[in-house]
Structure 1
Amino acid sequence: MKTNCFFSQRTLTCLFGVGLTVSLPALGAENLTGAALKRIDQQVERAVDRQIERQLEAATERLPALVRPDAPAPLAELPARLVIQSDTGRELFTDVEVEDGWRAVERQWLITVDVSDIHHFNQPGITVIDQTQMAGLGLTVLRFRVDPGLDSRDQLQKLLPEALVQRLDRNHIYRSQTGASKHQGPSNIDEPPSCPVPISIGMVDTAVETDHPAFAGTAVVQRDFLQDLQLADSYHAPTDHGTAVASRLTGKTSANAATRLPSATLFSASVFYGRPASVSGATLLHLVEGLAWLESNDVALINVSMAGPDNRVLATVIKRLIDRGTPVVAAVGNEGPAAPALYPAGYPGVIGVTAVDQDRQVYRWANRGEQVDYAAPGVDVAVALTDGRYGSQSGTSLAAPIVSAHLACALASTSLDNALAQLTRRADDLGDEGRDPVFGHGLLPDIH
């Protein structure tokens, strides 16, 4: 493939022979280290993959009769800097692109600390914003801002002890893992519940439209972790993704369907803010605050239908949850079969879930790898939509709650090890014999 690259004052632009163009921030010659070149290579690879996906989506729109409507929502072109404002116009934080094409809160970093660590952050160029106590997890998370010249791990390593640098990371931003919605008419399905036992299930996601008829037969306890920010209307907490996921977990997915887990109590941590083109985001701080709150409510497990970069603080919180006996079920992500692992599904001990369609074929956009533990229906599946409607969506986000429901029901009467063994025996082995990187242990059926 022929490739031509050229520099402008601030940008490196590469033109590929297949009609793709990638633009990246330019680096001075003094910064062209091996690590920097590797980051450029990774950013180019991710940008090319995304543009190819968008071209495939455009092609499928021109051939609607030949493809299934299972593509994820197109990746929005967010601006390099997106200022998130309050309802009074005050700047709350800035959502920016950082290393490897991920996004994070501009110049904000998080670290898990002990009391003896705090004095290291009392120095020029570092401003401590706050400390968040997570008593149930035995952790304290310190959030700090750095001057522009210190906004990298390499620079912070010059100021802080190595042991601290190994525990800190950016305040990354995570996104949900579903495709576009389709409205559908009333369903004639009226399925009896299969799990009538009382259980508490946790979910960290967007807000849930709790007054939706889908949740008339189940209890939802919700906490908004962005309420104090008083977001402007254009950034207000969305409800679309959380409502769909919750309907697949404990609610109803159509007007005539039975409540899926009628005796369950769903604890919902709302951690997302709105962004252009309905691409909502959740900062790492709000995500881990939500996880800690769910742990404090003694939930049977936590469903995480979102994905993003590997992060040292998130890894620490997830490990602490698992060590304390709270299973985490996570969507493996919709970046495509050649994409690297996304997180938290990629962390050891997390139960990663992929999606399959009605023909038991894997969702074509699903990530693959050792992080896949189980498969569940997640392509063009029935969900509750906002404003009291019902419809269908696709994505690994919608497969994860099916596995969460199966596991929560099993945990009501047995240990985690036994419950996972039950799920593995129940799973229909697909693909290569035994566990494989596409379907994991196999397909678990929908909860009916």
Structure 2
Amino acid sequence: MRGGTKLLAVSLMAGALAWPLAAQLQVPGVPVRVPPVGGVLGEVNGQLEQTVEQASALTGREARRLLQLRERTLGRLLRANPQAIERDAVGNLARRGELLATGLAEPGFAVLEQAGFRVLAREQIEGLDIAFARIAVPAGMTLAEGQGRVAELVPEAEVEADTLHLEAGGQMAPRPLPLAAMAAAATAAASNVKVGVIDGGIGKAVPVSGLRGFAAGAPRASDHGSAVASLLQAQGITRLWVADVYGSDPAGGNASAIAKAVGWLTASGCKVVTVSLVGPRSALVERAITAAQGKGVVVVAAVGNDGPAAPPAFPASYADVLAITGVDRKGRALIEAGRALHLDYAAPGAGVFARDATGKIKAWRGTSFAAPLAAARVAAALGSAGAWRARVDAEARDLGPRGADKTYGRGLLCGSCAQRK
């Protein structure tokens, strides 16, 4: 591929597919609009799929360029929502002026309040027996400064910023497609298992057994959440619970919302929880996921779309979470696919057809849409006799080097699940 075309591909991916979002591509004559974090991530021009499918690999230089473009997009997002988000001590985007604390005893609360910090709420995560507190940073103090000060005052506590997680994919097709475009691989086994989704809200076209909001204005229908849920429905998942962690909150998708969503889905009896969001490591989210896993919940998560040079994606990188990457229609790894500390499986992540918030069938691209397809196969295995992991491994089609590898994990699941008929 010629250099100009490669550069265009990288620019498109960074602007539209990386977890720091841009709702429109920055191409000549087309403006860039940066919506709130909880807004629609997609509206990706069909030119993107055509361009990136021409690329075979990212060189080190191009991967670094993708990360640079991602950082610029993060900056635009921050400037668009200064009242709601700011950077934490290590540069991650987080809810402005608030910290999360676990393991803080009563004397510690008194020390913080004497230093000007204010306890906003003490919360318990439903179903997981995890307590944490939301603490406001004093006026005039940045979030990063607050983190450092709290660490000095109460070193025994675990304190972190309420970091943001963003969606890992977007819409490809600008026009609706016929219903025949979505192929189902429904199984009775999958329909017996309760499956949970942590994402944005969903449209009325996808029936659910439970829906709860964990952000201001939630539940609120979103295209991304609707696409994820409709993919599960198309694969025979009829017992579906959805936790909306975005709503209309500019700081939606934060760690505390995700941790509470994990608890609610666990308490609701979900045995599989799929997450198509990407963010930095969070002690609170990790603790919630570990507790849910201890109750028999299998968590499935997308590796994101920041490219192979990106930092490890979370929650995909937490221990025992099934990390899912995406492949295109020819079984090639998505060149924008991110990475995790481990990789379990691949699933279709391009040319995937699903519903938007209005119920229209559209095409989508990103590891966001590979995760629910893999989750459906895990649910089917859980609903069948025998060890579920062995059943999933037996179903996975080996790609790349023989055996498990760092590009496809243990193989491709649901290879033809969401292809156009």
Q: TM-score range by the shorter chain?
A: 0.7 to 0.9
Q: Determine which of 127, 137, 146 is the counterpart of 2:128.
A: 137
Residue 78 (str. 1) matches residue 77 (str. 2): yes
Q: Determine which of 216, 228, 245 is the counterpart of 1:271.
A: 245
Cα shift at 1:286 = 1.5
Residue pairs, 1:197-236, within 5 angstroms: 197-209=191-203, 211-212=204-205, 215=206, 219-226=208-215, 229-230=216-217
Determine the structure 1 residue equivalent to 2:365.
394
Q: Determine which of 77, 101, 109 is the counterpart of 1:111.
A: 101
Change in 2 beyond 3 A, CA 1:140/1:290: same
Cα shift at 1:267 = 0.5
Cα shift at 1:358 = 0.9
Change in 2 beyond 3 A, CA 1:80/1:69: farther
Amino acid at match of 1:426: E
Moved more, 438-447 or 125-134: 438-447
Q: Determine which of 131, 144, 151 is the counterpart of 1:157.
A: 151
Change in 2 beyond 3 A, CA 1:180/1:281: farther
Q: Determine which of 218, 225, 228 is the counterpart of 1:242.
A: 225
- TM-score, length basis structure 2: 0.76
Residue 420 (str. 1) matches residue 412 (str. 2): no
| C-alpha distance in 1 between matches for 2:273 and 2:351 | 24
Residue pairs, 1:55-66, within 5 angstroms: 58=27
Counterpart secondary structure, 2:188: coil
Are the aligned partners of 1:369 and 1:437 in contact in 2 as well (CA < 8 Å)?
no
Counterpart secondary structure, 1:247: helix
Which of 1 and 2 has greater Rg? 1
Amino acid at match of 2:186: P
Determine the structure 2 residue equivalent to 1:256.
none
Are the aligned partners of 2:202 and 2:220 in contact in 1 as well (CA < 8 Å)?
no
Residue pairs, 1:299-318, within 5 angstroms: 299-318=270-289
Amino acid at match of 2:295: R
| C-alpha distance in 1 between matches for 2:259 and 2:324 | 20
Cα shift at 1:369 = 4.6
RMSD across aligned C-alpha pairs, in angstroms? 3.4
Determine the structure 1 residue equivalent to 2:400.
431
The percentage of counterpart residues that share the same residue type is 27
| C-alpha distance in 2 between matches for 1:57 and 1:436 | 35
Determine the structure 2 residue equivalent to 1:128.
119
- Structure 1's unaligned 5+ residue stretches are 1-17, 19-45, 85-93, 253-259
Counterpart secondary structure, 2:114: coil
1:336-392 deviations in Å (ceiling 9; x for gaps): 011121111111111100000111000111013542110001112101112221110
Task: State the aligned residue count.
Answer: 362
Cα shift at 1:187 = 4.3
Residue 443 (str. 1) matches residue 418 (str. 2): no
Cα shift at 1:261 = 1.1
Determine the structure 2 residue equivalent to 1:43.
none
Cα shift at 1:185 = 2.5
Change in 2 beyond 3 A, CA 1:287/1:69: farther
Counterpart secondary structure, 1:272: coil
Change in 2 beyond 3 A, CA 1:366/1:62: closer
Are the aligned partners of 1:337 and 1:365 in contact in 2 as well (CA < 8 Å)?
yes
Cα shift at 1:433 = 2.3
Counterpart secondary structure, 1:372: coil
Amino acid at match of 1:112: T
Determine the structure 1 residue equivalent to 2:88.
98
| C-alpha distance in 1 between matches for 2:152 and 2:339 | 37
| C-alpha distance in 1 between matches for 2:217 and 2:374 | 35
| C-alpha distance in 2 between matches for 1:437 and 1:127 | 45
Residue 285 (str. 1) matches residue 256 (str. 2): yes
1:77-105 deviations in Å (ceiling 9; x for gaps): 21436256xxxxxxxxx222334442111
| C-alpha distance in 2 between matches for 1:200 and 1:366 | 28
Cα shift at 1:275 = 7.5
Change in 2 beyond 3 A, CA 1:343/1:142: same
| C-alpha distance in 1 between matches for 2:342 and 2:247 | 27
| C-alpha distance in 2 between matches for 1:62 and 1:173 | 29
| C-alpha distance in 2 between matches for 1:369 and 1:285 | 21
| C-alpha distance in 2 between matches for 1:442 and 1:132 | 40
Determine the structure 2 residue equivalent to 1:185.
177
1:135-161 deviations in Å (ceiling 9; x for gaps): 411111211011244733332221113
Change in 2 beyond 3 A, CA 1:120/1:330: farther
| C-alpha distance in 1 between matches for 2:357 and 2:141 | 44
Q: Determine which of 321, 346, 355 is the counterpart of 2:292.
A: 321
Amino acid at match of 1:96: E
- TM-score, length basis structure 1: 0.72
Counterpart secondary structure, 2:263: helix
1:251-271 deviations in Å (ceiling 9; x for gaps): x4xxxxxxx315x21100011
Structure (1/2) with the larger strand percentage: 1
- Structure 2's unaligned 5+ residue stretches are 1-6, 8-13, 29-44, 56-65
Cα shift at 1:68 = 3.5
Change in 2 beyond 3 A, CA 1:176/1:64: closer
Are the aligned partners of 1:185 and 1:390 in contact in 2 as well (CA < 8 Å)?
yes
Are the aligned partners of 2:302 and 2:316 in contact in 1 as well (CA < 8 Å)?
yes
| C-alpha distance in 2 between matches for 1:246 and 1:429 | 27
Change in 2 beyond 3 A, CA 1:445/1:150: closer
Change in 2 beyond 3 A, CA 1:191/1:174: closer
Amino acid at match of 1:225: F
Cα shift at 1:110 = 0.7
| C-alpha distance in 2 between matches for 1:286 and 1:121 | 23
